[in-house]
Amino acid sequence: MGIDTLVGITAITSVVFLSVVGLLFIRKWLEATELKIHHDVTDPLSQVVGMMFAMLLGFMISNSMQRFETARSTVQQEAASLANIFNYAGALQENERKELRKLCIRYADQIVHEEWPLLGRRNISVSTIRTYRTIWEECTNYKPVTQKESNVHQAALAALVSMSDARRLRIEALHNGLPPALWWVLILGGLATIVFTYFFGAPNARLQVIMTAMVTLVISLNIYLLYTFDDPFEGDVMIRPTAFETDLMMFRKQWNVSDDGETVFPVPK
């Protein structure tokens, strides 16, 4: 269990506890019989508030989960395109093949060990940018000699463009979270929905405490769910660099088989 989950459990428990305290305070201040008098007004108003809040919260959760899955697909596309470049390099001339494959290995290693920890802080690795640009230069400056090399070179350039597009989208995903204004709308909307449960005078106060606690728990869990999916590269529920780790494992094995077992690790700086 990660630190974010522990913080979330603590926050949700605190909110539920405070909602019960608020209900007990209202029940001490207003009698159940007095609250019942206003049920004809309280009931429709609470339904309107609850329905609008549920629609808003549901839409935001759906949107955040969609953005999360899009970011995951983008990462997989970037890693797959990098693997294609590595494979296409096998058909190039020896010096260019070794250099391009070393760059692919270095890029994957830097993504996993340097850039990925920075993504949670909405930042990227400078050294990874340098390697990325060097891959571009190596691919675009290559001069094919045979028709086969020319065909492979065109395919490698297409894979490079795909990797570049995916990298750009991955970086853009760092800034696609909900703005603070919408978080305030959600918090105040949830608070209003919870407070409306105070204005129903159930004859059994214990039963109303349980119902209020359950309503608060459901609202808090959904807001926490939105929070966990809002940033795809931070928290306990986050996208892992598994695709690039798979690339590294495959690159090592393919390098040893196709390039006479030359050792390229640790990754060249």
Q: Are 156 and 82 in contact (CB under 8 A)?
A: no
Average pLDDT score over the chain: 87
The candidate with the shortest Cα–Cα distance to 39, out of 188, 196, 195, 190, is: 196
Between CA 86 and CA 74 the distance in angstroms is 19
The candidate with the shortest Cα–Cα distance to 124, out of 6, 133, 229, 151, is: 133
Full DSSP string of the chain: --HHHHHHHHHHHHHHHHHHHHHHHHHHHS-HHHHHHTHHHHHHHHHHHHHHHHHHHHHHHHHHHHHHHHHHHHHHHHHHHHHHHHHHGGGS-HHHHHHHHHHHHHHHHHIIIIIHHHHTTT---HHHHHHHHHHHHHHHT----SHHHHHHHHHHHHHHHHHHHHHHHHHHGGG-SPPHHHHHHHHHHHHHHHHHGGG---S-HHHHHHHHHHHHHHHHHHHHHHHHHH-TTSSSS---THHHHHHHHHHHHHHHHHTTT----SPP-
Confidence class of residue 265 from pLDDT cuts 50, 70 and 90? Answer: very low
Between CA 83 and CA 249 the distance in angstroms is 11
pLDDT in tens, 134-178: 999 999 998 888 888 899 999 999 999 999 999 999 999 988 888
The candidate with the shortest Cα–Cα distance to 135, out of 186, 110, 99, is: 99
pLDDT surpassing 70 at residue 235:
yes
Confidence class of residue 226 from pLDDT cuts 50, 70 and 90? Answer: very high
pLDDT, position 266: 46
**Encoded tokens for 170:** 């991955």
pLDDT surpassing 70 at residue 37:
no
Q: Are 23 and 196 in contact (CB under 8 A)?
A: no
Rounded to two decimals, the pTM is 0.82
- For residues 75 and 49, which has the higher predicted lDDT (pLDDT)? 75
For the chain, what are the domain ranges? 3-26+47-258
